[in-house]
């Protein structure tokens, strides 16, 4: 069995309609290291006594000058969802076991693309929020970063204010919120209509681009196929598919 860490529930609030921000610290107050982009698994027992596990991407960037002491996650609330229900009602201060951090969906030491193409739907933007300080560093070295986020409505675009502020301050960083069930207001040029694929299709990928795709598995597969057909080598496409009950 993978190593289990005892986590204490530190904070919980509504981040957007149907999405909880949940923070954990180690029960013994020790650091919780991770690479931005990695995910954790929460272990718990459901109301039928069955052991369950669910994966969540870490959403917070590690602090610049000190060891990371907490893991924040953005939890999409599925109607009737087992983990959704548990995380909504778990009392603050409770402990539960976690595994991780896991995964290779992170920036690597040798990454030196001409441009990062980052595409997310729903809570799939969490890893990009965790990576934002690393992405800022790439931008300051002259690399372009394009972030496309898909959501039904403006309210469901997670961390939008943060990304809009980054785009205002950093010329190399651009952000598009792709709305599927609400018309974008004319005075918010960062918002466009349609799925992320519609906006991605307007970006001609170069062989030196690096794409990271995260969220709805059908979206991830669709974008990966399109990028590959448009000439981006498969080694330059990293994916994190949020399969149900993963």
Binding positions for ligand FAD, rule: CB under 6 A: 39, 54-57, 73-76, 78, 80-84, 123, 126, 240, 242-246
Angle between helix 160-169 and 132-140 (nearest 10): 10
Burial 89-120 (b: 16+ CB within 10 A, else e): eeeeeeebebbbbebebbbeeeeebebbbbbb
* CA distances to 11, 12, 130 from 71, in Å: 11, 12, 10
Asked if 15 is part of the footprint of ligand NAP (rule: CB under 6 A), the reply reads: no
* CB of 74 or CB of 200, closer to ligand FAD: 74
* CB of 209 or CB of 240, closer to ligand FAD: 240
* CB of 68 or CB of 184, closer to ligand FAD: 68
Among 72, 156, 172, 209, binds ligand NAP (CB under 6 A): 156
Restricting to residues 160-179, name those near ligand NAP by CB under 6 A.
none
Asked if 25 is part of the footprint of ligand NAP (rule: CB under 6 A), the reply reads: no
Q: Tell which phi-psi region holds residue 153, choosing left (phi > 0), alpha (psi between -120 and 50) or beta.
A: beta
Residue 180 interacts, among ligand NAP, ligand FAD, none and using kind-specific CB cut-offs from 5 to 8 Å, with: ligand NAP
* CB of 70 or CB of 123, closer to ligand FAD: 123
* Length in residues, the chain: 246
């Amino acid at each position: 069995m993978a190593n289990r860490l005892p986590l204490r529930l530190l904070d919980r609030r509504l981040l957007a309609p149907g999405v909880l921000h949940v923070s954990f610290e180690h029960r013994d107050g020790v650091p919780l290291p991770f690479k931005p982009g990695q995910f954790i698994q929460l272990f718990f027992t459901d109301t039928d006594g069955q052991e369950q596990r669910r994966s969540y991407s870490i959403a917070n960037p590690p602090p610049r000058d000190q060891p990371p002491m907490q893991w924040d996650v953005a939890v999409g609330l599925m109607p009737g969802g087992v983990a959704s229900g548990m995380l909504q009602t778990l009392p603050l201060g409770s402990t539960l076991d976690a595994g991780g951090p896991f995964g290779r969906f992170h920036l690597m030491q040798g990454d030196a693309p001409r441009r990062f193409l980052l595409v997310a739907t729903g809570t799939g933007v969490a890893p990009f929020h965790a990576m934002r300080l690393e992405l800022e560093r790439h931008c300051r070295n002259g690399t372009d970063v394009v972030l496309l986020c898909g959501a039904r409505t403006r309210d469901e675009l997670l961390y939008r204010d943060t990304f809009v502020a980054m785009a205002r301050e950093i010329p190399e960083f651009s952000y598009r919120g792709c709305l599927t069930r609400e018309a974008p207001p004319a005075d918010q040029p960062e918002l466009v209509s349609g799925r992320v694929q519609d906006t991605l299709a307007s970006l001609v990928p170069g062989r030196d681009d690096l794409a990271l795709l995260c969220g709805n598995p059908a979206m991830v597969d669709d974008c990966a196929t399109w990028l590959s057909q448009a000439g981006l080598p498969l080694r330059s496409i990293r994916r994190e598919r949020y399969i149900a009950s993963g």
